[in-house]
Every structure is written in structure tokens, then in C-alpha cells.
């Protein structure tokens, strides 16, 4: 489900960018969006919620990278 736009932070290059906020697997988490600067999927919402939930996002990133064949 599309929830609007949000600011994401790339944990690889540290850049922030705006992208669609898409619900991840019917949860409160946002689907990581590819970083427009470095192409990494290791992104999370920029802010306190994203920072507090980074451990959960590490699991999401791992599954996404396995699905991509990395």
C-alpha cells in the first residue's frame, strides 16, 4: 500500500532522499527504496523510528539482497 512520500537514509553512503513510502509485507515498516546516489537497497526511513528499527531493516535488506541474487 502506498502511504505517500517519505525521506529515506542510505546506510551505505549516508545520503538522504525522498521516495514513495510503500508498506513492507503488510507491516508498519517501509519498503526500502534503492538509493539514487549509490544504488544500494540498504535504506531506511530517516528519523527516530527508522533508527530504532535498524535491526529489523537489516533482516529486510538481507532478504532483498538474497532475492536479487547477491
Q: What is the pLDDT along the chain (70 residues), one digit of tens a residue?
A: 999 999 999 999 999 999 999 999 999 999 999 999 999 999 999 998 888 999 999 999 999 999 887 5
Quote the pTM value: 0.88
pLDDT of residue 70: 53
pLDDT of residue 68: 82
Phi, psi of 21 (to 5 degrees): -95, 100
pLDDT of residue 40: 95
Residue 22 exposed, middle or buried by CB count within 10 Å (0-12, 13-18, 19+) = middle
pLDDT of residue 12: 96
| Angle CA 18–37–41, to nearest 5 | 75
Amino acid at each position: 500500500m502506498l502511504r505517500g512520500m517519505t525521506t529515506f537514509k542510505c546506510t551505505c553512503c549516508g545520503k538522504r532522499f525522498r521516495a514513495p513510502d510503500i508498506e513492507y509485507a503488510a507491516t508498519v515498516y517501509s519498503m526500502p527504496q534503492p538509493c539514487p546516489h549509490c544504488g544500494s537497497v540498504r535504506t531506511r526511513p530517516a528519523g527516530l523510528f527508522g533508527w530504532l528499527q535498524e535491526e529489523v531493516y537489516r533482516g529486510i535488506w538481507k532478504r532483498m539482497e538474497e532475492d536479487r541474487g547477491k
